[in-house]
Chain A
């Protein structure tokens, strides 16, 4: 705009300047024109004057010569006309006073001379007149007059020439101003046209933008309207006089009238179906201009959450009123249920003889039952949060806090024994347990814990523990001595045996001929005895090693163990024409070397005690036994399953069997039911099996009837830790050895 203004100002200045120059120029031309005309008239008048003088002189001369008065006529005419002509000249040369004096003088002098000579002619005749004329007075005057007129005329001519020069200048100036004027005019037109065009373009763009804005506004309005109508909550908008301006479907439905029926009606005419006095609400709201949010109102059988708020718009002087209602019946009922169950829980917790507590997911204790406050004598303020650690025994503090932290961080159950200080300053042992309670997303929502007073049983257990520990120590020491003795004895016993065998070998090979048949037999018997003793010692060594040479328990695949054993016994199985059937066996926590020894002994026993003429058939099977749950909670401090989950392994044969009364004795050291000549053996194999079963926390029993075979049953419990992993029976592979 300012640029346009500037242009316009400059254009105006140029136009006005140009016009001023033009007007001034015209003014000058008019002046010049008048001057030229006057100069031309002056010059003509000068010629006229001179011509009149010439006429007068010619008439004068004719009269003088002829005396004919006829010739005096031109003279008289000139004499009459001259004053007029001179008058005109005087007017014309008014700017040059005195300039005509000379001419008038000369004209006067001429006429004096002519009148005198005419008078002479008339009086004295022609000759006298000629004489007078001959004095040349008249001629001199006339010559002077001529000269004077010529000078004046010349002067006028000179002035006219100067005027012409001036006219050329003026014409040039006029041309320039015209051209400039024309250029300016064209420029103005052009600029004006451009500005108009721009203006029009701008206006067109404005119109398009306006249309677009209108479209957008309409779309937004439509969307807003759709949103408003479909909202799953009741919405109504009243003006300051509480007349319905807008109402959505949900609200209209609540009022049991269509949307259209509401618009423009006041709340008196169509009161909303909320138990709310809108007039009063409005008074309060319009005064304070603060919304009232989320009041719960009962409408029929439902619970609604209603918010009322001022609607302030620029166009209205007084604020309108907005109402939004949401049906929260389901949530309200759920809350009520929670509150009720909470109340039930508290009633129960307060009545419990144990300390009961509850925490937030982050471990912050937010509830203790009465028993806690009675026992510790603390106030709720002292107890909330981490206040529970206050009365902890100093020796238990760090351990308990760390343990609790672990459970809170991992969400795993909490179990610990610690001492709390009672109100009287004494400490008592408690068993604390807590479990996480999960929300529907599986996150820990809170922890619920109990502390059970175990002080009495702890004291007893402590005494018992001391006793057990002392005895265990003594037992372990004597056991270790025994093991060491057994090991060294076996080792030192083997040395001489080895020599007996080695030199016996030398004797029987190198001196075979000298020994004779009987000598050979003695040596063979001697070597057999040595061999038996050697096996005895080996078995004794194995027996002692069951407890001295222990491997840590690791998952053992019994299928693989039995497969190895069968491969070692392959020749024996083939020789006896027997077969071993193996069902699917589990993988369980065990000492792998000992498991191998167990099956080696049991299977080789089963093959060994075969009935004469009956090919041995041995079956090896396994079965998962579920844990037997404990008795209903009693005083027991740590109720563990009465019987933990276990695997039952069975080795059954169709051999000679045994009298049932020997079922226990056969597991004792060096117990044999048969002569060595009948069935070889050291009498240690089953004792080793029993020791292995016991080392695994299990049992082994034998059942049998003579001539009907024997069954050996080993129950191996799974530790609690492993039981969790083996929640379901787990059998790996399906190996069945048939030979």
Chain B
């Protein structure tokens, strides 16, 4: 696992506590030590990214390099959150990977229309989830060149 000068923060947005736990365990199983943080719905996700509410302190909300986003969430779902992120000039460059249970074609098409970077259906078996997490981090954290972690613009 090569270490970057600033390890990329990975932010997971999922309303399901079980899934959050499974994802955290899968990262652990895959031995990926990046800073992993969680939010529980779209509203919280936007608060985090725009440093509002309980995320006013920059220390509490380091800018993520990668967002894993569930589509079906209460208050604000993943589709709306995704479109708001892509409308925000400061947030637009962050990679957003949809990770959901939905296999509906409409959801897949819509997500890519909204500039999602990838669309992944949550695997059924845990081993498969570990594989997915490994592949994701390998691709997005090692193979791909991401834009430099730009200093937080005063939004």
B124 CB within 8 Å of chain A: yes
Contact of B101 among A495, A503, A505, A549 (CB under 8 A): A495
Q: Which one of B16, B105, B122, B126 lies within 8 Å of A506 (CB-CB)?
A: B126
A587 is an interface residue with CB less than 8 A from chain B: no
B122 surroundings in chain A (CB, below 8 A): 498
Determine whether A452 belongs to the interface, using a CB cutoff of 8 Å to chain B: no
User: Is B113 an interface residue, CB under 8 A from the partner?
Assistant: no
- Which of B102, B105, B124 is the one whose CB lies under 8 Å from A502? B124
CA of A498 to CA of B18, assembled, Å = 10
Question: From residue A61, how far is it (CB to closest CB) to chain B in Å?
Answer: 180
A509 touches B126 (CB 8 A): yes
Q: How far is the CA of A78 from the CA of B141 in the complex (A)?
A: 185
Separation in Å of the A597 CB from the closest CB of chain B?
15
8 closest A-B pairs by beta carbon, nearest first, are A505-B126, A502-B126, A499-B18, A501-B124, A498-B124, A502-B22, A506-B126, A505-B125
- For residue B35, CB closer than 8 A to chain A, the reply is no
B130 to chain A, nearest CB (A): 10
- With A491-B102, A506-B25 known, 16 other A-B pairs at CB within 8 A are A491-B101, A494-B101, A495-B16, A495-B101, A498-B101, A498-B124, A499-B18, A502-B124, A502-B126, A502-B129, A503-B18, A505-B127, A506-B126, A509-B126, A534-B124, A549-B105
CB contacts (< 8 Å) of B129 on chain A: these are: 502
Which A residues are in CB contact (< 8 Å) with B125? Answer: 501-502, 505
Give chain A interface residues in 496-532, CB to chain B under 8 Å: 498-499, 501-503, 505-506, 509
Q: Scan residues 14-38 of chain B and give those whose CB is less than 8 A from a CB of chain A.
A: 16, 18, 22, 25
B-facing mask of A449-493, CB < 8 A → 1, else 0? 000000000000000000000000000000000000000000100
Interface size on A, residues (CB 8 A): 13
For B127, the chain A residues whose CB sits under 8 A away are: 505
Task: Kindly count the residue-residue contacts between A and B in the assembled complex, taking CB atoms under 8 Å apart.
Answer: 28
Could you list 22 examples of A-B contacts with CB < 8 Å? Answer: A491-B101, A491-B102, A494-B101, A495-B101, A498-B122, A498-B124, A499-B18, A501-B124, A502-B18, A502-B22, A502-B124, A502-B125, A502-B126, A502-B129, A503-B18, A503-B22, A505-B125, A505-B127, A506-B25, A509-B126, A534-B124, A549-B105
Interface of A is mostly: helix
State the CA gap A501–B101 with chains docked (Å). Answer: 14
Q: Which residues of B contact A491 (CB under 8 A)?
A: 101-102
Roughly how many angstroms separate A506 CA and B105 CA in the complex, as a whole number?
Answer: 30
**Using Cβ atoms and an 8 Å threshold, which residues of chain B touch A495?**
16, 101
Chain A hits for B18, CB < 8 A: 499, 502-503
| Distance A566 CA – B150 CA, assembled complex (angstroms) | 52
Q: Which of A11-54 contact B (CB under 8 A)?
A: none
In the complex, what distance in Å separates the CA atom of A494 from the CA atom of B100?
A: 12
A498 to B125, CA, bound (A): 8
A511 to chain B, nearest CB (A): 13
Spell out A's residues near B (CB within 8 Å): 491, 494-495, 498-499, 501-503, 505-506, 509, 534, 549
On B, residues with C-beta under 8 Å from A are 16, 18, 22, 25, 101-102, 105, 122, 124-127, 129
Q: B125, B126, B129 — which one has the most chain A CB atoms within 10 A of its CB? A: B126
Closest to A531 in B: B124
Q: Chain B contacts of A502 at CB under 8 A?
A: 18, 22, 124-126, 129
Q: Which residue of A lies closest to B25 (CB)?
A: A506
Hey, which chain A residues are within 8 Å of B126, CB to CB?
Answer: 502, 505-506, 509
Closest Cβ–Cβ distance, residue A494 to chain B (whole Å): 7
Chain B neighbourhood of A505, CB < 8 A:
125-127
Name B22's closest neighbour in chain A (CB-CB). A502
In the complex, what residues of B have CB within 8 A of residue A509's CB? Answer: 126
A534: chain B residues at CB < 8 Å are: 124
B71 to chain A, nearest CB (A): 11
CA A106 to CA B7, docked complex, whole Å: 186
Please indicate which of the listed interface residues B101, B102, B105, B129 has the most CB atoms of chain A within 10 Å of its own CB.
B101
Bound together, the chains give a CA A502 to CA B124 distance in angstroms of 6
A48 to B122, CA, bound (A): 183
Please give me the residue from chain A that is nearest to B126 by CB atom. A505
In the assembled complex, the CB of A181 is this many whole angstroms from the nearest CB of chain B, namely 123
Separation of A731 and B127 alpha carbons in the complex (Å): 46
How far is the CB of B103 from the nearest CB of chain A, in Å? 9
Q: Which B residues lie within 8 Å of A494 (CB)?
A: 101
Q: Which residues of A contact B16 (CB under 8 A)?
A: 495
Q: How distant is A663 from chain B, measured CB to nearest CB, in Å?
A: 35
- The distance in angstroms between the C-alpha atoms of A82 and B22, with both chains bound, is 198
Chain A residues with CB under 8 A of B101: 491, 494-495, 498
Give Cα distance in the complex from A491 to B126, angstroms: 19
| B22 CB → nearest A CB, Å | 6
Bound-state Cα–Cα, A406 to B122, Å: 56
Q: Report the minimal beta-carbon distance from B14 to chain A, rounded to whole angstroms.
A: 12
Complex: how many Å from CA A443 to CA B126?
A: 74
Distance in angstroms from A165 CB to nearest chain B CB is 138
CB of B19, distance to nearest CB on chain A (Å): 8
CA distance A495 to B129 in the complex (A): 15
A residues in contact with B22, CB < 8 Å = 502-503, 506
A534 to B123, CA, bound (A): 13
Residue from A494, A498, A506 with most neighbouring chain B CB atoms (10 Å)? A498
Closest to A494 in B: B101
CB distance from A124 to the nearest CB of B (A): 194
Measured between C-beta atoms, what is the minimum distance from A142 to chain B in Å? Answer: 172
> Residue of B at shortest CB range from A502?
B126
Give complex CA distance A503, B26 in Å: 12
Residue of B16, B102, B125, B127 with most partner-chain A CB within 10 A: B125
Distance between Cα atoms of A491 and B105 in the complex (Å):
14
Q: Which residues of B contact A498 (CB under 8 A)?
A: 101, 122, 124
| Residues in A whose Cβ lies below 8 Å from that of B25 | 506
Q: Chain A residues near B105 (CB, 8 Å)?
A: 549
* B137 smallest CB distance to A (angstroms): 20
Q: Which residues of B contact A501 (CB under 8 A)?
A: 124-125
For the complex, give the distance between the alpha carbons of A501 and B22 in Å.
Answer: 12
- A498 CA / B22 CA spacing, docked (Å): 11
CA A501 to CA B18, docked complex, whole Å: 12
Min distance, Cβ A403 to any Cβ of chain B, angstroms: 39
Give B152 Cβ to nearest chain A Cβ, in Å.
36
Q: How far is the CB of B110 from chain A (nearest CB, A)?
A: 16
Q: Which residues of A contact B102 (CB under 8 A)?
A: 491
CA–CA, A503 and B124, complex, Å: 10
The answer for the CA separation of A383 and B78 in the assembled complex, in Å, is 69
A502–B127 Cα distance when bound, in Å, is 9
Which of chain A's residues has its CB closest to B72's CB?
A: A491
The chain A residue sitting closest to B129, CB to CB, is: A502
Most chain A beta-carbon neighbours within 10 Å: one of B16, B18, B25, B124? B124
Closest to A534 in B: B124
Query: Min CB distance, A565 to chain B, in Å?
Result: 20
Distance of A505 Cα from B127 Cα, bound (Å): 8
Q: Which residue of B lies closest to A507 (CB)?
A: B126
User: How far, in Å, is A499 (CB) from chain B's closest CB?
Assistant: 5
| Docked CA distance A324–B146 (Å) | 100
Residue of B nearest to A506 (CB): B126
Q: How far is the CA of A499 from the CA of B129 in the complex (A)?
A: 12
Closest Cβ of chain A to B95, distance in Å, is 25
CB distance from B105 to the nearest CB of A (A): 8
